[in-house]
Amino acid sequence: MLAPEIITEEGHGKEADWWGLGIFAYELIVGHPPFTHENDNVMFDMIKKNNVKFSPNLEISPEARDFIEKVFLL
């Protein structure tokens, strides 16, 4: 999955790596990536908005949720 900086072609640094770690952690815990859509352009827009949603019935520790939310904000 591409980081927002890569999609917008603004150049990227270590923040893109942290973002990727957040994606990876989310997928390991939840079982699917946070941004999915059959249309790539829609999915890229979702990534650029960088809004990670957690289902209310998702069983995830507060620490894991906090970590994922924080790495998306770097």
Could you read off the pLDDT of 19-65 as tens digits, one per residue? 899 999 999 998 988 898 999 999 999 888 877 888 888 889 999 99
Integer CA distances (angstroms), 12 to 3, 31, 49, 55, 57, in order = 9, 27, 16, 30, 34
What six digits make up the tokens of 27?
A: 């997928």
Q: Is residue 69 part of a domain?
A: yes
Structural domain total, the chain: 1
12-16 average pLDDT score = 87
Does some domain include residue 42? yes
Q: For residue 74, is pLDDT > 70?
A: no
Task: Please report whether residue 39 resides in a domain.
Answer: yes
Q: Looking at the domain assignment, is residue 43 inside a domain?
A: yes
**pTM of the shown model:** 0.80
Query: Is 33 part of any domain?
Result: yes
Neighbours of 9 (CB within 10 A): 7
Q: Give a yes or no: residue 28 inside a domain.
A: yes
Is residue 70 predicted with pLDDT exceeding 90?
A: no
As given in the structure block, the two tokens for residue 36 are 């999915």
Q: What's the CA gap between 4 and 33, in Å, rounded?
A: 15
State the residue range of the domain holding 57.
Answer: 13-73
Helices (H), 1-74: 4-7, 14-30, 40-49, 62-73
